[in-house]
Chains A and B, each alone.
With several copies, the nearest count.
Chain A
Amino acid sequence: MTDKQHHIFCKLTQDPIELRELTDFVADPGAGAMTTFIGATRNTNDGRQVIRLEYECYAGMAEKEMVKIAAEVLARWPVIKIAMIHRLGRVDIGEASVAIAVSSGHRHAAFEACHYAINQLKETVPIWKKELYEGGELWIGSQTGMTGSFQKVQEEDRT
């Protein structure tokens, strides 16, 4: 989804994320600074050996929520362009599940805006991940494991 002004690019995809697609989008002759964030599948989580992650989303709403974040970033910081992409389906260890790129005239704005965008994405965009680990599977941020007993798994976020 690209806005009329071509300053926002948001995408959900089953395919591997190519960072180049985002950096090409946000590149601009007036951009002295570009920041990117890539979130990738780690091999351990909360003491479990992770095999892979599987992502699903609320199609339509997920994209709309991503565009809302992007528009808010453009309104709050002197950002030229922002691109956000999230992968769906199976994501193996070391592969990117999310990537964000931001361009700006100034690096401080680019860092703040990119950091804000990933924080918000994790809070508001209806996307879910199921962790397949050695010994079971678990919806992260959710309440129910495969055993049928309700359990709470908090995503790590050491601020």
Chain B
Amino acid sequence: MRIRLRYFASLRERLGRTEEIREVPAGATIETVWEMLKRERPELAAIERSLAFAVAQEYVDKTHPLQDNDELAFIPPVSGGSYD
């Protein structure tokens, strides 16, 4: 199945892209996709603990099962607002 991946902020800069379409096996979860990315870029392991995930623009945890045409966003720690 095909999943649209979205990257933001530090992760976007690190990967050098804002989004991409990936083919993933049926039954894949977010974790499946993340492990795939880590095999390509092992240094991503360093940000793993602080990363959140959203599917269809809703926060979900990494065990969330994916469906064909889902949009999966990788959300680094948010920092809206000013310093205060």
A and B touch in the complex (CB under 8 A): yes
Chain B residues with Cβ under 8 A from A45's Cβ? 83
Residue among B57, B76, B77, B79 with max Cβ neighbours from chain A (10 Å): B79
Q: Is B13 an interface residue (CB 8 A)?
A: yes
Say what secondary structure dominates the interface of chain A: mixed
Chain B nearest CB, measured from A148 CB (Å)? 9
B82 at the binding interface (Cβ < 8 Å): yes
Least CB distance, B20 to chain A, in whole angstroms = 16
The distance in angstroms between the C-alpha atoms of A105 and B6, with both chains bound, is: 34
Which of the residues B8, B46, B73, B77 comes within 8 Å of A56, measured between beta carbons?
A: B8
CB of A144 within 8 A of CB of B47, answer yes
Query: Out of A57, A86, A123, A156, which one reaches B83, CB within 8 Å?
Result: A156
**CB-nearest residue of chain A relative to B50?**
A143
B contact set with A: CB distance below 8 Å:
6, 8-10, 13-14, 43, 46-47, 50, 54, 57-59, 73, 75-84
* 7 further interface pairs, Cβ-Cβ under 8 Å (given A58-B8, A143-B47, A155-B83): A39-B81, A55-B80, A98-B81, A124-B78, A126-B73, A141-B79, A143-B50
